[in-house]
């Protein structure tokens, strides 16, 4: 007797009642089954939505002795999505000019120095949410520089120790964005 393969396609056998036409009956059955297997494997690879933790290297900023950084990413050969957050705390924390962090997977070569990744993000400074959006500028294939867009302004704001406000212990910044991997 024939059998149902892993994709649910019935494959006829010489002992089936349709003999001697079983090979005729199977025309297309195996190719359909193979195509379904390939589609199933592709869907399974795309369905992996788990986030992978990574430890980004901070650039021009230091989280401090009790501060925290978190980085997560997920993606495939066409797109990588990154989640990054930093909370400053304890002693030795610092916010420099043009802070940034390293990427988990190298990006395509930037088109120009101000190629930005639009994403969602924000800051928490001095006990309140600062009114701005954090963006990432693709400064190389392995790192980004953070800057901000503030409401009621005509351009972006470079982040530094006193801009958009004076940073302090307990201040935080986060962003999520996607980019094309190299």
| pLDDT, tens digit, 9 for 90 and up, residues 128-159 | 665 567 777 777 889 888 887 766 666 777 88
- At residue 132, the pLDDT reads 63
Quick: pLDDT tens for 64-112: 999 999 999 998 888 889 999 999 998 999 989 989 999 999 988 765 5
C-alpha dihedral sign at 159, 164, 165, 168: negative
Give CA–CA dist 108/140, Å, rounded: 9
Instruction: Name the fold adopted by 52-179.
Output: Adenovirus Type 5 Fiber Protein (Receptor Binding Domain) (2.60.90)
Alpha-carbon distance values, 102 to 59, 84, 146 (Å): 8, 10, 11
Beta-strand relationship, 119-125 and 128-130 = antiparallel
**Contact of 166 with 127, CB cutoff 8 Å:** no
Torsions phi, psi of 108, nearest 5? -60, 160
Within 10 angstroms of residue 155's Cβ, the number of other Cβ atoms is 7
Residue % of the chain over a pLDDT of 70: 63
- State which of 5-14, 34-43, 165-174 shows the largest mean pLDDT: 165-174
List, in sequence order, the alpha helices (H) in 10-90. 22-26, 29-46
Alpha-carbon distance values, 60 to 2, 22, 127 (Å): 67, 71, 22
Alpha-carbon distance values, 57 to 64, 85, 127, 182 (Å): 13, 12, 25, 19
Q: Angle CA(174)–CA(89)–CA(71) in degrees, nearest 5?
A: 35
Per domain, the residue ranges of the chain are: 3-46, 52-179
Give CA–CA dist 88/62, Å, rounded: 8
- At residue 122, the pLDDT reads 66
Q: Is 45 helix (H, G, I), strand (E, B) or coil?
A: helix
């Amino acid at each position: 007797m024939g059998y149902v393969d892993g994709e649910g396609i019935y494959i006829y056998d010489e002992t089936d009642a349709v003999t001697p036409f079983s090979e005729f009956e199977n025309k297309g059955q195996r190719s359909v089954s193979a195509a379904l297997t390939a589609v199933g494997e592709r869907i399974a690879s795309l369905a992996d939505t788990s986030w992978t933790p990574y430890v980004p290297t901070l650039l021009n900023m230091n989280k401090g002795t009790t501060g925290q950084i978190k980085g997560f990413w997920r993606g495939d050969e066409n797109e990588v999505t990154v989640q990054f957050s930093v909370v400053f705390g304890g002693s030795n924390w610092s916010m420099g000019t043009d802070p940034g962090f390293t990427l988990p997977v190298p990006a395509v070569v930037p088109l120009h120095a101000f190629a930005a990744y639009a994403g969602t993000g924000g800051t928490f400074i001095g006990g309140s949410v600062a009114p701005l959006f954090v963006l990432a500028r693709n400064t190389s294939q392995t790192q980004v520089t953070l800057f901000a867009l503030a409401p009621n302004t005509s351009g972006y704001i470079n982040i530094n120790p006193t801009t958009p406000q004076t940073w302090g212990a307990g201040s935080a910044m986060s962003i999520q964005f996607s980019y094309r991997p190299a």
